[in-house]
A and B are shown apart, each in its own frame.
Chain A
Amino acid sequence: MRKYWWKILCVILLAYTVISGLMIPVPRLPILHESIRNLFFHVPMWFTMMILFVFGFCYGIKYLIKGDLKDDIYSVQFIIVGLIFGSLGMITGMEWAKYTWGQAWSNDPKQLGAALSMLVYFAYFALRGAIPDEEKKAKIAAVYSIFAFALMIPFIWILPSLTDSLHPGSGGNTGFNTYDLDNELRKVFYPAVIGWFLLGLWITSLFIRMKLLNQRDLLKEIKAAQSKKQLVED
Protein backbone atom coordinates (compact mmCIF):
# COMPACT_ATOMS: atom_id res chain seq x y z
CA MET A 1 0.00 0.00 0.00
CA ARG A 2 2.86 2.30 0.68
CA LYS A 3 4.74 1.46 -2.49
CA TYR A 4 4.54 4.22 -5.06
CA TRP A 5 5.56 2.68 -8.39
CA TRP A 6 2.01 1.83 -9.27
CA LYS A 7 0.82 5.28 -8.25
CA ILE A 8 3.26 6.87 -10.68
CA LEU A 9 2.05 4.43 -13.33
CA CYS A 10 -1.51 5.52 -12.53
CA VAL A 11 -0.68 9.19 -13.06
CA ILE A 12 1.10 8.46 -16.36
CA LEU A 13 -1.74 6.30 -17.68
CA LEU A 14 -4.41 8.81 -16.68
CA ALA A 15 -2.48 11.77 -18.11
CA TYR A 16 -2.21 9.80 -21.35
CA THR A 17 -5.93 8.99 -21.20
CA VAL A 18 -7.01 12.58 -20.62
CA ILE A 19 -4.78 14.07 -23.33
CA SER A 20 -5.04 11.38 -26.00
CA GLY A 21 -8.66 10.75 -25.16
CA LEU A 22 -9.53 14.27 -26.19
CA MET A 23 -7.07 14.53 -29.06
CA ILE A 24 -7.05 11.33 -31.11
CA PRO A 25 -9.26 11.23 -34.19
CA VAL A 26 -12.34 9.15 -33.52
CA PRO A 27 -14.54 7.16 -35.91
CA ARG A 28 -17.37 9.27 -37.24
CA LEU A 29 -20.41 7.52 -35.80
CA PRO A 30 -23.99 8.69 -36.25
CA ILE A 31 -25.61 10.27 -33.18
CA LEU A 32 -22.60 9.68 -30.93
CA HIS A 33 -20.20 11.99 -32.82
CA GLU A 34 -17.38 13.16 -30.55
CA SER A 35 -19.11 11.85 -27.42
CA ILE A 36 -17.70 8.40 -28.19
CA ARG A 37 -14.74 9.76 -26.25
CA ASN A 38 -16.78 9.10 -23.11
CA LEU A 39 -15.73 5.51 -23.68
CA PHE A 40 -12.45 6.40 -21.96
CA PHE A 41 -14.14 7.95 -18.93
CA HIS A 42 -17.62 6.54 -18.31
CA VAL A 43 -16.88 2.87 -19.00
CA PRO A 44 -13.73 2.58 -16.83
CA MET A 45 -15.75 3.90 -13.87
CA TRP A 46 -17.82 0.74 -14.00
CA PHE A 47 -14.89 -1.59 -14.55
CA THR A 48 -13.17 0.00 -11.57
CA MET A 49 -16.28 -0.42 -9.42
CA MET A 50 -16.54 -4.08 -10.31
CA ILE A 51 -12.90 -4.88 -9.68
CA LEU A 52 -12.97 -2.99 -6.37
CA PHE A 53 -16.04 -5.05 -5.41
CA VAL A 54 -14.07 -8.21 -6.23
CA PHE A 55 -11.43 -7.07 -3.73
CA GLY A 56 -14.16 -6.26 -1.19
CA PHE A 57 -15.60 -9.73 -1.70
CA CYS A 58 -12.18 -11.39 -1.28
CA TYR A 59 -11.37 -9.49 1.92
CA GLY A 60 -14.82 -10.34 3.27
CA ILE A 61 -14.07 -14.02 2.78
CA LYS A 62 -10.60 -13.54 4.26
CA TYR A 63 -12.22 -12.08 7.38
CA LEU A 64 -14.63 -15.02 7.66
CA ILE A 65 -11.70 -17.43 7.48
CA LYS A 66 -9.21 -15.65 9.75
CA GLY A 67 -11.30 -13.38 11.97
CA ASP A 68 -8.81 -10.49 11.72
CA LEU A 69 -10.78 -7.24 11.86
CA LYS A 70 -8.21 -5.57 9.62
CA ASP A 71 -9.60 -7.58 6.72
CA ASP A 72 -13.04 -6.29 7.55
CA ILE A 73 -11.76 -2.72 7.36
CA TYR A 74 -10.17 -3.47 4.00
CA SER A 75 -13.42 -4.97 2.72
CA VAL A 76 -15.51 -1.97 3.78
CA GLN A 77 -13.19 0.60 2.26
CA PHE A 78 -13.09 -1.28 -1.06
CA ILE A 79 -16.87 -1.27 -1.13
CA ILE A 80 -17.07 2.43 -0.23
CA VAL A 81 -14.72 3.46 -3.03
CA GLY A 82 -16.43 1.00 -5.36
CA LEU A 83 -19.72 2.76 -4.72
CA ILE A 84 -18.10 6.15 -5.34
CA PHE A 85 -16.91 5.00 -8.75
CA GLY A 86 -20.26 3.37 -9.42
CA SER A 87 -22.05 6.61 -8.62
CA LEU A 88 -19.73 8.48 -10.96
CA GLY A 89 -20.40 5.88 -13.62
CA MET A 90 -24.13 6.25 -13.10
CA ILE A 91 -24.09 10.06 -13.25
CA THR A 92 -21.79 10.20 -16.28
CA GLY A 93 -23.93 7.55 -17.96
CA MET A 94 -27.08 9.59 -17.42
CA GLU A 95 -25.33 12.71 -18.69
CA TRP A 96 -24.19 10.85 -21.81
CA ALA A 97 -27.62 9.29 -22.32
CA LYS A 98 -29.41 12.64 -22.07
CA TYR A 99 -27.68 13.89 -25.19
CA THR A 100 -27.44 10.68 -27.20
CA TRP A 101 -30.38 8.47 -26.20
CA GLY A 102 -32.67 11.44 -25.60
CA GLN A 103 -33.30 10.89 -21.89
CA ALA A 104 -31.10 10.60 -18.83
CA TRP A 105 -33.10 7.58 -17.64
CA SER A 106 -34.77 5.29 -20.13
CA ASN A 107 -35.24 2.16 -17.99
CA ASP A 108 -32.43 0.67 -20.04
CA PRO A 109 -31.69 -2.85 -18.68
CA LYS A 110 -28.06 -2.11 -17.99
CA GLN A 111 -28.89 1.18 -16.25
CA LEU A 112 -31.46 -0.67 -14.13
CA GLY A 113 -29.13 -3.59 -13.43
CA ALA A 114 -26.32 -1.30 -12.34
CA ALA A 115 -28.65 0.77 -10.16
CA LEU A 116 -30.04 -2.38 -8.51
CA SER A 117 -26.58 -3.72 -7.91
CA MET A 118 -25.55 -0.46 -6.25
CA LEU A 119 -28.70 -0.43 -4.11
CA VAL A 120 -27.80 -3.90 -2.84
CA TYR A 121 -24.37 -2.58 -1.85
CA PHE A 122 -25.85 0.52 -0.21
CA ALA A 123 -27.97 -1.82 1.90
CA TYR A 124 -24.69 -3.39 3.07
CA PHE A 125 -24.03 -0.18 5.01
CA ALA A 126 -27.54 -0.11 6.46
CA LEU A 127 -26.88 -3.64 7.68
CA ARG A 128 -23.56 -2.67 9.25
CA GLY A 129 -25.14 0.30 10.99
CA ALA A 130 -27.76 -1.92 12.60
CA ILE A 131 -25.29 -4.16 14.45
CA PRO A 132 -23.44 -2.67 17.41
CA ASP A 133 -20.92 -5.44 18.15
CA GLU A 134 -17.79 -5.10 15.97
CA GLU A 135 -17.16 -8.78 15.33
CA LYS A 136 -20.79 -9.72 14.70
CA LYS A 137 -21.07 -6.72 12.41
CA ALA A 138 -18.04 -7.82 10.44
CA LYS A 139 -19.21 -11.41 10.16
CA ILE A 140 -22.73 -10.64 8.99
CA ALA A 141 -21.54 -7.91 6.66
CA ALA A 142 -18.99 -10.27 5.09
CA VAL A 143 -21.67 -12.88 4.42
CA TYR A 144 -23.95 -10.21 2.96
CA SER A 145 -21.16 -8.95 0.74
CA ILE A 146 -20.87 -12.44 -0.76
CA PHE A 147 -24.52 -12.31 -1.76
CA ALA A 148 -24.20 -8.74 -2.97
CA PHE A 149 -21.30 -9.70 -5.21
CA ALA A 150 -23.12 -12.79 -6.47
CA LEU A 151 -26.10 -10.60 -7.40
CA MET A 152 -23.97 -8.03 -9.20
CA ILE A 153 -22.92 -10.51 -11.86
CA PRO A 154 -26.37 -11.26 -13.28
CA PHE A 155 -27.62 -7.70 -12.72
CA ILE A 156 -24.85 -6.04 -14.68
CA TRP A 157 -23.57 -8.70 -17.05
CA ILE A 158 -26.13 -11.38 -17.76
CA LEU A 159 -29.64 -9.92 -17.68
CA PRO A 160 -28.95 -6.80 -19.76
CA SER A 161 -27.38 -8.74 -22.62
CA LEU A 162 -30.42 -10.99 -22.81
CA THR A 163 -32.92 -8.20 -23.43
CA ASP A 164 -33.26 -5.20 -25.72
CA SER A 165 -31.01 -2.39 -24.71
CA LEU A 166 -29.35 0.66 -26.19
CA HIS A 167 -26.05 -0.25 -24.57
CA PRO A 168 -23.48 -1.80 -26.92
CA GLY A 169 -23.33 -5.55 -26.46
CA SER A 170 -26.96 -5.93 -25.35
CA GLY A 171 -30.11 -6.84 -27.22
CA GLY A 172 -29.54 -6.59 -30.92
CA ASN A 173 -26.51 -4.31 -30.80
CA THR A 174 -23.09 -5.53 -31.83
CA GLY A 175 -20.78 -5.71 -28.87
CA PHE A 176 -17.76 -3.59 -28.20
CA ASN A 177 -15.52 -5.75 -30.33
CA THR A 178 -16.97 -4.92 -33.71
CA TYR A 179 -19.04 -1.83 -32.98
CA ASP A 180 -16.99 1.13 -31.94
CA LEU A 181 -13.73 -0.27 -30.72
CA ASP A 182 -11.45 0.20 -33.68
CA ASN A 183 -7.73 -0.06 -33.00
CA GLU A 184 -7.29 3.67 -32.43
CA LEU A 185 -9.86 3.65 -29.65
CA ARG A 186 -8.42 0.50 -28.10
CA LYS A 187 -5.03 2.22 -27.80
CA VAL A 188 -6.53 4.67 -25.33
CA PHE A 189 -9.29 2.51 -23.86
CA TYR A 190 -7.12 -0.24 -22.37
CA PRO A 191 -4.65 2.10 -20.65
CA ALA A 192 -7.65 4.13 -19.46
CA VAL A 193 -9.22 1.12 -17.74
CA ILE A 194 -5.95 0.27 -16.01
CA GLY A 195 -5.27 3.91 -15.07
CA TRP A 196 -8.71 4.53 -13.57
CA PHE A 197 -8.56 1.24 -11.69
CA LEU A 198 -5.16 2.14 -10.21
CA LEU A 199 -6.67 5.45 -9.14
CA GLY A 200 -9.47 3.57 -7.39
CA LEU A 201 -6.89 1.36 -5.72
CA TRP A 202 -4.87 4.40 -4.62
CA ILE A 203 -7.88 6.13 -3.11
CA THR A 204 -8.90 2.90 -1.36
CA SER A 205 -5.41 2.41 0.07
CA LEU A 206 -5.53 5.93 1.54
CA PHE A 207 -8.98 5.29 3.04
CA ILE A 208 -7.77 2.01 4.54
CA ARG A 209 -4.67 3.59 6.04
CA MET A 210 -6.68 6.45 7.53
CA LYS A 211 -9.24 4.03 8.97
CA LEU A 212 -6.49 1.84 10.47
CA LEU A 213 -5.04 4.96 12.14
CA ASN A 214 -8.48 5.95 13.42
CA GLN A 215 -9.31 2.55 14.78
CA ARG A 216 -5.96 1.47 16.14
CA ASP A 217 -7.11 1.76 19.78
CA LEU A 218 -10.25 -0.23 19.10
CA LEU A 219 -8.27 -2.82 17.14
CA LYS A 220 -5.73 -3.17 19.98
CA GLU A 221 -8.55 -3.67 22.50
CA ILE A 222 -10.22 -6.32 20.39
CA LYS A 223 -6.92 -8.13 19.77
CA ALA A 224 -6.19 -8.10 23.53
CA ALA A 225 -9.68 -9.45 24.28
CA GLN A 226 -9.25 -12.17 21.64
CA SER A 227 -5.89 -13.29 23.04
CA LYS A 228 -7.33 -13.30 26.60
CA LYS A 229 -10.11 -15.54 25.34
CA GLN A 230 -7.50 -17.86 23.83
CA LEU A 231 -5.62 -18.08 27.16
CA VAL A 232 -8.83 -18.86 29.07
CA GLU A 233 -9.79 -21.53 26.57
CA ASP A 234 -6.32 -23.20 26.61
Chain B
Amino acid sequence: MNDKQTKPVRWLRTIVLMPILLLVSKFSFAVDVSPVKMDDALWSNGKIYVVILVVFTIFLGIIFTLIHLERKVKKLEKQIL
Protein backbone atom coordinates (compact mmCIF):
# COMPACT_ATOMS: atom_id res chain seq x y z
CA MET B 1 0.00 0.00 0.00
CA ASN B 2 2.90 2.31 0.78
CA ASP B 3 4.33 1.78 -2.69
CA LYS B 4 1.09 2.77 -4.27
CA GLN B 5 0.94 6.05 -2.39
CA THR B 6 2.65 8.88 -4.16
CA LYS B 7 5.73 10.57 -2.77
CA PRO B 8 4.01 13.80 -1.73
CA VAL B 9 1.36 11.91 0.27
CA ARG B 10 4.01 10.01 2.16
CA TRP B 11 5.91 13.21 2.96
CA LEU B 12 2.74 14.90 4.16
CA ARG B 13 1.97 11.97 6.43
CA THR B 14 5.39 12.20 8.01
CA ILE B 15 5.23 15.96 8.53
CA VAL B 16 1.79 15.78 10.16
CA LEU B 17 2.37 12.69 12.27
CA MET B 18 5.74 13.64 13.73
CA PRO B 19 4.71 16.65 15.81
CA ILE B 20 1.56 14.85 16.96
CA LEU B 21 3.59 11.85 18.13
CA LEU B 22 6.13 14.10 19.83
CA LEU B 23 3.36 15.88 21.70
CA VAL B 24 1.82 12.58 22.78
CA SER B 25 5.15 11.31 24.09
CA LYS B 26 5.37 14.33 26.36
CA PHE B 27 2.29 13.10 28.21
CA SER B 28 3.08 9.42 28.57
CA PHE B 29 5.30 8.10 31.32
CA ALA B 30 7.01 4.69 31.31
CA VAL B 31 8.59 5.54 34.64
CA ASP B 32 7.16 8.05 37.09
CA VAL B 33 9.71 10.83 37.25
CA SER B 34 8.18 12.59 40.25
CA PRO B 35 10.12 12.07 43.54
CA VAL B 36 9.37 8.75 45.25
CA LYS B 37 6.99 9.16 48.17
CA MET B 38 8.50 7.36 51.11
CA ASP B 39 7.14 6.99 54.58
CA ASP B 40 9.04 9.72 56.42
CA ALA B 41 6.75 9.78 59.45
CA LEU B 42 9.24 8.48 62.01
CA TRP B 43 11.86 10.78 60.57
CA SER B 44 9.76 13.91 60.70
CA ASN B 45 8.67 13.48 64.33
CA GLY B 46 12.13 12.43 65.48
CA LYS B 47 10.93 9.02 66.72
CA ILE B 48 13.40 7.26 64.44
CA TYR B 49 15.95 7.80 67.17
CA VAL B 50 13.90 5.57 69.45
CA VAL B 51 14.14 2.79 66.88
CA ILE B 52 17.88 3.24 66.64
CA LEU B 53 18.18 3.19 70.43
CA VAL B 54 16.12 0.00 70.70
CA VAL B 55 18.05 -1.86 68.03
CA PHE B 56 21.35 -0.69 69.50
CA THR B 57 20.28 -1.88 72.96
CA ILE B 58 19.43 -5.32 71.60
CA PHE B 59 22.78 -5.40 69.83
CA LEU B 60 24.61 -4.49 73.05
CA GLY B 61 22.70 -7.23 74.86
CA ILE B 62 23.93 -9.79 72.35
CA ILE B 63 27.51 -8.54 72.63
CA PHE B 64 27.46 -8.70 76.43
CA THR B 65 26.14 -12.26 76.24
CA LEU B 66 29.03 -13.19 73.97
CA ILE B 67 31.57 -11.55 76.26
CA HIS B 68 30.10 -13.41 79.23
CA LEU B 69 30.36 -16.72 77.34
CA GLU B 70 33.92 -15.90 76.34
CA ARG B 71 34.92 -15.34 79.98
CA LYS B 72 33.21 -18.58 81.06
CA VAL B 73 35.02 -20.60 78.42
CA LYS B 74 38.35 -19.01 79.32
CA LYS B 75 37.88 -19.99 82.95
CA LEU B 76 36.98 -23.57 82.04
CA GLU B 77 39.95 -23.83 79.69
CA LYS B 78 42.31 -22.73 82.46
CA GLN B 79 40.86 -25.38 84.76
CA ILE B 80 40.68 -28.28 82.37
CA LEU B 81 43.11 -27.95 79.48
Contacts and interface: CB of A to CB of B under 8 A. Distances in A.
A126 interface: no
30 contacts: A2-B74, A7-B70, A11-B63, A14-B59, A18-B56, A19-B52, A19-B56, A22-B48, A22-B51, A22-B52, A23-B52, A28-B35, A28-B36, A28-B38, A29-B36, A33-B36, A33-B39, A202-B66, A203-B66, A206-B66, A206-B69, A206-B70, A209-B73, A209-B77, A210-B73, A212-B81, A213-B76, A213-B77, A213-B80, A213-B81
A34 B40 CA distance: 9
Interface of A: 2, 7, 11, 14-15, 18-19, 22-23, 28-30, 33-34, 202-203, 206, 209-210, 212-213, 216
Contacts of B66: 202-203, 206
Contacts, number: 47
B27 to A, nearest CB: 20
A33 B59 CA distance: 24
Interface in B46-81: 48, 51-52, 55-56, 59, 63, 66, 69-70, 73-74, 76-77, 80-81
A15 B59 contact: yes
Nearest to A20: B52
